[in-house]
Amino acid sequence: MQDFEEKYIESLKEDFVKNLRLDFFDEEEIGLIFRDLESLDKRIRQKIFSLCHTLSHASSSLVPKTLKHLKNASRFLSLKEMEGWITHAFDLLDHDGVDQFIYFISRIDENTLWDFLMPRGLSLQDAAPVLETYLRGISGLELKIAPGRETYTDTTTLYLPPFLDRYDESEKNFRLYKIMVAHQWAQITQGTLSPDESVLNSFLKDAPPDHPDIETLFRSFEERDLAVDIYNILEAIRLEPFLEKELPGLMREAHIIKKDFLRDKSRLAGLSGKSAFIEGIYRFYLKGEIEDHAPEILKINSRELYSLKEGAGSHDCMNMLLKFYDIAGRLEGSYHPRSYLPFLGTIKPAEISLHLKEMRRAYQQRLEAMITRIVNLPEFEPLASQPHRAFHQEPVEQNKEYLLIKGRLIKLDSELKDLIDRRGGIPGGTLVTGAETGGAGSPISLKDILEEEETPDETSGGITYDEWDYKRGDYKKNWCTLYEQDIHQGHEPFVELTLGRYSGYVNILRKKFELLKREPKMLRGQRDGDDIDIDALVGTYSDVRAGISPNENIFMRYEKQERNIAVLFLLDMSGSTKGWINTAEKEALVLMAEALEILGDRYAIYGFSGMTRNRCDMYCVKSFEETYSQVVKKRISGIEPKDYTRMGPPIRHSIKILKSIEARTKLLVTLSDGKPEDYDAYKGSYQPRSYLP
């Protein structure tokens, strides 16, 4: 291949020289042209030579001037920018002719080159891998990073601007990204976004719901945006001592950046009373002290701001929120919410509340499964003889309530207590206080019990399935082990991009599927109806001819019956789907999910891959119980090609899932790019066979 390329280039050079000589270039002039070519960066030299060669067919006399313009442009443009500039020049030469080409390359000025200058900032796509590693290092949590129109977090994913160009240097923009990440991490871990229920209940005027959250709090404010901005800035001030202690080096850099933004901010003059008051609090956050020209009402109440920097808690900050909101409400003028500092971002109570409810629902489902397993466990040894347990021992609290089941004393959290109340109790379980146990035993969590019962071997957690062997015409019993896996959520807004790309198709699908919301069913042999039932009419005519009393039910009627469908999509995530196939599979899922949401049909999405019969992986993208939420959309974005295509175990597992669902019609839809194949002997031609024993 390399020899072929060298011969091809050599033939181009011969043709180029031939064209130059036809236009009366002597050897010295030809040598000068090649020296100019050699002086250019070798990474773009081939493209420039191709341009000059093409130009020589039109007019060789233009080649020297073209090289001169190219050398001048290379002084202003980077290598990558030069590639774009040359490509555009080439396109002009091919499509618009020599005149437009010469006009373009001869204009080496700032306005002309501006469109080809690469942005000097930093994209989140480039920074995200390092930022996620950094975040995992400082937090120990599996938090994700994704691009967003605003900077905020829903407590699991951190949304950051897709591009930062506050500074020319990428390093400084990366530092700004790090500060944003650190600030959102502090909000998550220090109670800004998920205050204790007891704290929230003390501030709620009406009877609080079962699980109040930050959205419950801010619903009580008439000027919600004003309250959210005050709380956001106050919490930023409160979190600074924590960040100073945990990340002193980064916070030194943050103070420098805050000075940059403080210089950019306008003065308070000209702002309404409300806006000037909020701006004054914000400038206190930037500067660390009250400015001389701050509103007088803020100076009077400055002691509270300074107290936030001295280890105040979430309860103190909410007290201050109520006070400052009351002060701002008495000031003149209206308040328009504004975006403050990039690394301060915003707080979205509704997004946080929705995400917390999704997490609570998922946790309750896990609790149900854990309780079922515990009910089926054998009786355990008496509570008094548990000192040998490996997990941490805790004393029994006299006034605290526990669940006593199968000889185990289990700690109650609010979710487990709600579950017990909803179920009206648990078979074999009793709620007791610590005093009723006489202080015997050591309370443990559900997780402790389940970990204790697990067998520490390689097949722990796996589900075994038979597999059909077409060679011997029989099943291999318990031959494959399937593992249910979590799927890594993706960074890209894949669902949103797909809906934008196929918006026309989506609208058509939605309209068509809306017509199917009820299944039409033909009822024959009716006394009245929409049409004649020909079969019944023939029967009636026969009865009359035979002298028998005829049947009068000779009509048919169409009725729309309620749909009762459950669909499970099983997606091939093997390595062979890498590229456009993986994209097509995910786009198909998005379009079908949008359509099924209109119908209200129940559906689930799973992916599968694995390697050998001992590791068949099945990834849950959306279970039947889950809603089509942002979490599910991020999982769809995170679907990536993995290993091999052993289809039997995931199909059997899918059928097992469908069997547990009550529906009149159950569909299993498999999306794959080819035949089953695995790393071992699981290969060859497909042999039709039912997957179920």
The yes-or-no verdict on residue 304 having pLDDT over 60 is yes
In one letter, which amino acid is 651?
A: I
Per-residue confidence (pLDDT) for residue 457, from 0 to 100: 39
Q: Starting at the edge strand that comes first in sequence, how are the strands of the sheet with 144-147 ordered?
A: 144-147, 157-160, 152-153
pLDDT tier at 265 (50, 70, 90 boundaries)? low
Positive or negative, the Cα torsion across 328, 330, 336, 337?
positive
The residue that leads in pLDDT, 533 or 226, is 226
Strands in 1-139 per DSSP E:
122-123
Residues 453-463 have a mean pLDDT of 52
The yes-or-no verdict on residue 456 having pLDDT over 60 is no
Question: Alpha carbon 419 to chain centroid distance?
Answer: 29
pLDDT tier at 120 (50, 70, 90 boundaries)? low
The yes-or-no verdict on residue 608 having pLDDT over 90 is yes
The residue that leads in pLDDT, 116 or 646, is 646
What's the CA gap between 304 and 327, in Å, rounded? 13
Phi, psi of 615 (to 5 degrees): -145, 80
Flag the least confident range among 56-65, 73-82, 439-448.
439-448
What's the CA gap between 410 and 408, in Å, rounded? 6
Per-residue confidence (pLDDT) for residue 560, from 0 to 100: 58
pLDDT tier at 114 (50, 70, 90 boundaries)? low
Flag the least confident range among 75-84, 239-248, 318-327, 483-492.
75-84
The residue behind tokens 């006489």 is 438
C-beta separation of 280 from 300 below 8 A: no
Residues 573-581 have a mean pLDDT of 82
pLDDT tier at 393 (50, 70, 90 boundaries)? low
Per-residue confidence (pLDDT) for residue 536, from 0 to 100: 82
pTM passes above 0.85: no
Instruction: Encode pLDDT of 313-328 as tens digits.
Output: 888 899 999 999 999 9
The residue that leads in pLDDT, 333 or 76, is 333
Per-residue confidence (pLDDT) for residue 686, from 0 to 100: 46
Pairing assessment for the beta strands 531-532 and 555-562 based on DSSP bridges: antiparallel
Per-residue confidence (pLDDT) for residue 472, from 0 to 100: 57
In one letter, which amino acid is 234?
A: L
Per-residue confidence (pLDDT) for residue 241, from 0 to 100: 93
Per-residue confidence (pLDDT) for residue 158, from 0 to 100: 92
Per-residue confidence (pLDDT) for residue 115, from 0 to 100: 65
The yes-or-no verdict on residue 460 having pLDDT over 80 is no
DSSP readout, 108-166? -SHHHHHTTPPPSSEEHHHHHHHHHHHHHHHH-S--EEEE-SS-EE-SSEEEE-SEE-S
Rg (CA), the chain: 35
Per-residue confidence (pLDDT) for residue 544, from 0 to 100: 81
The residue that leads in pLDDT, 193 or 600, is 193
351 sits in the region (left: phi over 0; alpha: psi -120 to 50; else beta) called alpha
The 3-class SS string of 177-196 reads HHHHHHHHHHHHHCCCCCCC
Pairing assessment for the beta strands 665-671 and 616-622 based on DSSP bridges: unpaired
265 sits in the region (left: phi over 0; alpha: psi -120 to 50; else beta) called beta
C-beta separation of 581 from 639 below 8 A: no
What's the CA gap between 155 and 185, in Å, rounded? 8
The yes-or-no verdict on residue 390 having pLDDT over 50 is no
Phi, psi of 646 (to 5 degrees): -90, 105
Instruction: Encode pLDDT of 139-148 as tens digits.
Output: 877 788 888 8
Instruction: Encode pLDDT of 546-555 as tens digits.
Output: 888 888 788 8
DSSP readout, 315-342? HHHHHHHHHHHHHHHTSSS--------T
Flag the least confident range among 62-66, 211-215, 530-534, 660-664.
530-534
pLDDT tier at 388 (50, 70, 90 boundaries)? very low
Phi, psi of 483 (to 5 degrees): -120, 130
pLDDT tier at 351 (50, 70, 90 boundaries)? very high
> Where do the domains of the chain lie, and which CATH numbers do they carry?
2-114 (no CATH), 122-349 (no CATH), 352-453 (no CATH), 458-517+563-693 (3.40.50), 519-561 (no CATH)
Per-residue confidence (pLDDT) for residue 435, from 0 to 100: 73
Burial of 181 (0-12, 13-18, 19+ CB in 10 A): buried
The residue that leads in pLDDT, 663 or 392, is 663
pLDDT tier at 441 (50, 70, 90 boundaries)? low
**Residue 139 burial (CB count, 10 A):** 16
Q: What is the mean pLDDT of the chain?
A: 80
Flag the least confident range among 192-201, 203-212, 375-384.
375-384
pLDDT tier at 377 (50, 70, 90 boundaries)? low
Flag the least confident range among 128-137, 266-275, 279-288.
266-275
Per-residue confidence (pLDDT) for residue 229, from 0 to 100: 93
What's the CA gap between 402 and 368, in Å, rounded? 17
C-beta separation of 535 from 524 below 8 A: yes
The yes-or-no verdict on residue 384 having pLDDT over 70 is no
Per-residue confidence (pLDDT) for residue 386, from 0 to 100: 43
pLDDT tier at 662 (50, 70, 90 boundaries)? confident
Residues 19-28 have a mean pLDDT of 87
**In the structure encoding, which two tokens stand for residue 247, read together?**
């990340």
pLDDT tier at 558 (50, 70, 90 boundaries)? low
Share of the chain above pLDDT 90, in %: 19
Any idea what the Cα angle at residue 598 is, between residues 596 and 603, rounded to 5°? Answer: 25
The residue that leads in pLDDT, 632 or 377, is 632
Residues 407-412 have a mean pLDDT of 78
C-beta separation of 157 from 145 below 8 A: yes
Residues 514-520 have a mean pLDDT of 58
The yes-or-no verdict on residue 4 having pLDDT over 90 is no
The yes-or-no verdict on residue 233 having pLDDT over 80 is yes
C-beta separation of 227 from 317 below 8 A: no
